[in-house]
């Protein structure tokens, strides 16, 4: 009995150790490629930043462009500096190139062992894709939540925070479902859970808006009969209210 167990373990080790031996060089090659390209990227980014600073690139570009315009590069550059934007783009391009080279090296090291390679490599790319999805979804959720919160507060809705939270979780649930589907986890369970959650949030929001928007509707009607409101820039007075006109502009 003992001998049989020992034999089984030994055979198992004989199968796993060569697999690990063939896996580690690929992993090391991947890490090495990423690190080397990242270092090259940092060096290039520093060099580009110094050259462009000496050339007064930001000032020259700003002189040619109009402040406040969407097409202005400075408007969406980090810290309003196109130099910083360019250097960061170069850095991240190098890092992405390193990842691509590393994955290629990883794939090459598994060319003689199709089973692991076939399972592992596509999964790595799926993980990267899912991570990007989650990052984009989180950013979008935060942006939309703030937009809704500010819009609702300025429309004087009492349930502004609730609306904002609803929108945020709507986008987060959608993002999570997309990421899980991308990873191939859960299958039908994820779809079903997503449908229930999404439908639940939409129904809750619809009920909240339907029940809570009475104030908004009444204010809208009040506006049409020209009742003064804080949010109208040029409010006129009516004989009934006899209030002095209020002009913001």
Partner 1 sequence: MSTSPAVQPAETATQNAALTLACLPALTTEALDATLSNLRRAFPDQPILVATPDAAPPSTANVSVIAYTPSATSQSSWVPTAADYLNAFTLAREHKPRAILLLGPDCGSVAPETLRRLAAGVLDDHDLVLPRYPVGPHDALFNSAILYPLTRALFSHHVRFPLPIDAALSARMAERLATGAQRLTANGQGDALVWPVAEASVAAYTVRDVAGEPRTLPAPNAGDLNFLLANVAGSLFADIESKAAFWQRARLITTPARISACATHSTHHDANPLDLAPMIESFRNAYTNLRELWSLVLPPNSLLALKKLSIAPAESFRMPDALWARTVYDFLLAYRLRTINRGHLLGALTPLYLAWVASHLHLVDGDPATAEQHIEATAAAFEADKPYIVARWRWPDRFNP
11 forms part of the interface with partner 1 (CB under 8 A): no
230 forms part of the interface with partner 1 (CB under 8 A): yes
239 forms part of the interface with partner 1 (CB under 8 A): no
> Which one of the spans 17-25, 48-56, 139-147, 204-212 is the region binding partner 1 (CB under 8 A)?
139-147
Exactly one of 65, 113, 138, 204 binds partner 1 (CB under 8 A); that residue is 65
66 forms part of the interface with partner 1 (CB under 8 A): yes
> Which one of the spans 3-11, 34-42, 62-70, 198-206 is the region binding partner 1 (CB under 8 A)?
62-70
Under rule CB under 8 A, how many of the chain's residues touch partner 1? 39
Residue 47 vs 231, nearer CB to partner 1? 231
| Sequence-separated (6 or more) residues with CB below 8 Å from residue 52 | 58, 83, 86, 87
Exactly one of 112, 234, 239, 240 binds partner 1 (CB under 8 A); that residue is 234
224 forms part of the interface with partner 1 (CB under 8 A): no
Exactly one of 146, 203, 220, 221 binds partner 1 (CB under 8 A); that residue is 146
> Which one of the spans 49-57, 96-104, 155-163, 197-205 is the region binding partner 1 (CB under 8 A)?
155-163
Binding site for partner 1 (CB under 8 A): 62, 65-69, 71, 79-80, 143, 146-147, 149-154, 156, 158, 160-161, 164, 228-234, 241-249
């Amino acid at each position: 009995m003992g001998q049989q167990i020992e034999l089984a373990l030994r055979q198992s080790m004989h199968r796993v150790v060569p697999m690990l031996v063939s896996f580690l060089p690929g992993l090391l090659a991947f890490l090495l490629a990423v690190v080397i390209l990242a270092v090259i990227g940092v060096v290039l980014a520093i060099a580009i930043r110094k050259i462009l600073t000496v050339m007064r690139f930001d000032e020259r570009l700003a002189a040619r462009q109009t402040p406040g315009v969407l097409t202005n590069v400075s408007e969406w550059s980090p810290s309003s500096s196109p130099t910083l934007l360019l250097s960061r783009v170069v850095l991240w391009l190098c890092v992405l190139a390193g990842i691509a080279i590393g994955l290629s090296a990883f794939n090459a090291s598994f060319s003689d062992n199709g089973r692991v390679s076939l399972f592992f490599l596509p999964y790595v790319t799926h993980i990267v894709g899912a991570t990007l999805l989650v990052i984009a979804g989180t950013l979008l959720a935060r942006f939309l939540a703030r937009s809704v919160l500010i819009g609702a507060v300025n429309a004087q809705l009492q349930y502004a925070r609730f609306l904002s939270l609803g929108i945020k979780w709507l986008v987060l649930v959608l993002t999570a479902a997309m990421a899980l589907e991308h990873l191939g986890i859960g299958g039908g369970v994820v779809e079903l859970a997503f449908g229930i959650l999404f439908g639940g949030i939409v129904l809750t929001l619809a009920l909240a808006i339907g029940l809570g928007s009475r104030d908004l509707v009444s204010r809208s009607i009040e506006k049409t009969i020209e009742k003064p409101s804080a949010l109208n820039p040029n409010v006129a007075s009516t004989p009934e209210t006899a209030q002095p006109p209020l002009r913001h502009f």
